[in-house]
Every structure is written in structure tokens, then in C-alpha cells.
Amino acid sequence: MTDLFKWTVLQTEINIYGNCHDFVTVTNIRDFDISNCAIPVDGQWSSWTTTSCSMTCGNGMTYRNRTCDNPSPSDGGNMCQGVDNESTVCNLGDCPVDGHWGLWSSVRCSVTCGNGIGIRTRRCDNPAPSGGGNGCVGCDKKKKTMFLGKMSQWRMEESKKIKKEISSQTNEEYHELKKTGGTMNYVYHLWL
């Protein structure tokens, strides 16, 4: 079946008599086949689709897109106006940083001569935990027994052991000579 519509043409014949105008309108109506006619359709934007932030913490990007297909332009219709994508900076908060231990402090002994307790400490600040990061694992303090005495109180052959470390993390034992004032002292350390 052929799509038909009535095409109306208005023709105006004008007769002028002095200052008066007499308009006569003649209307012709004829059948017109529109099955081969193209009607331009302008494109319209789809809804925006938005991505999540490209990072799970810290600065990232969020993107949103749309397409000119609601409907797409056809038969000479106009393209959509504007941009089809946008990006913005997003920040979901600071990234977690796990803490790590700093260096051990020097030993502080409870006595200046004889048997005593030595203590050394460290801080979880290299770096400190932040943004929900984990704290340091392990102890922040170590104690040890110490003996401080004059050089005559120990055998000379033990002087070969000066500053010799036997182990590093759990138990440490070493001997050292320390000059205090004008006296050379022997110091024995055993970490507990």
C-alpha cells in the first residue's frame, strides 16, 4: 500500500480595484506518494555512563561518556551538539602506608660500673603508618644485661672479641672497650 497524503497548494490571484483589494484563493489538492521521501532526523544524546575512579586511593580520574544515538542522525539530520566525553579528578582518600621501624637508639645502662640493665628503643617512624596502613611488627624496646668494669678485670685474650657480633636480631653478644674519662673500661653486652 502506498503512503499518501494530501498536498495542498495555495495559489492566490489578486485583483486590485482602486484602493480595494480582493483576494481570491484557489486551492488545488492532489495525491502525493511519500514512500520514497526522506525526512531528516537530528541526533540526540544518550544518557551519560560514568566510570568509577581509576585509583582505589589517592588521585585518579573518573570518565563519563555518551553517544549520539538516541536516535542517531539520519537522512541529513544534524549531529548532536556538545562533547561526548568528560573527565574529572577523583580522590578516594590517602593511600594506606605501612609503618617501618627506624634505627635502634644507643644503649642506656642502669649503672656506670658493675652489672646492670641496658635498654635501647626504636620508633615506628620510617615511615610512620598513615591512611589506615599497618603498624610495625615486633618490639620497640630491647633489654640486656650489661657488665661495666675496668680493663684489669678481664683477660687480655678476650680483647680479640672487641665489637664482634654473634647474631643480629634475637640475641646479640659483643664485647667492647670504652674510654670513660682517663680509664679504659670493658663492656659486655648480651641482648635478651
Q: pLDDT tens-digit profile of 102-139?
A: 999 988 888 777 777 888 999 999 999 998 899 999 99
- H helical segments located in 89-129: none
Q: What is the pLDDT of residue 119?
A: 86
Q: pLDDT tens-digit profile of 152-172?
A: 444 444 444 443 433 333 344
Q: What is the pLDDT of residue 92?
A: 86
Distance between CA atoms of 128 and 99, rounded to whole angstroms? 5
Q: What is the pLDDT of residue 32?
A: 56
Residue 14 phi, psi dihedral angles, 5° rounding: -115, 125
85 is written with which cell numbers?
A: 566525553
CATH fold for the domain made of 49-91 = TSP-1 type 1 repeat (2.20.100)
Answer yes or no: are the C-beta atoms of 119 and 87 closer than 8 Å.
Answer: no
- Any idea of the CA torsion for 125, 126, 131, 136, to the nearest 10 degrees? -70
Answer yes or no: are the C-beta atoms of 92 and 60 closer than 8 Å.
Answer: yes
Confidence band of 145 (pLDDT split at 50, 70, 90):
confident
Q: Is the pLDDT of residue 186 over 80?
A: no
- H helical segments located in the chain: none
Q: pLDDT tens-digit profile of 69-97?
A: 999 999 889 999 999 999 999 998 889 99
- For range 39-50, the mean pLDDT: 94
Q: Where are the domains of the chain?
A: 4-33, 49-91, 108-191
Going by C-alpha positions, the residue among 182, 140, 187, 139 that lies closest to residue 164 is 187
Answer yes or no: are the C-beta atoms of 122 and 105 closer than 8 Å.
Answer: yes
Q: pLDDT tens-digit profile of 5-41?
A: 444 434 444 444 444 444 444 455 555 556 667 889 9
Going by C-alpha positions, the residue among 38, 42, 47 that lies closest to residue 71 is 42
Distance between CA atoms of 146 and 110, rounded to whole angstroms? 9
- For range 173-188, the mean pLDDT: 51
- Distance, CA of 80 to chain centre: 34
Residue 146 phi, psi dihedral angles, 5° rounding: -135, 150
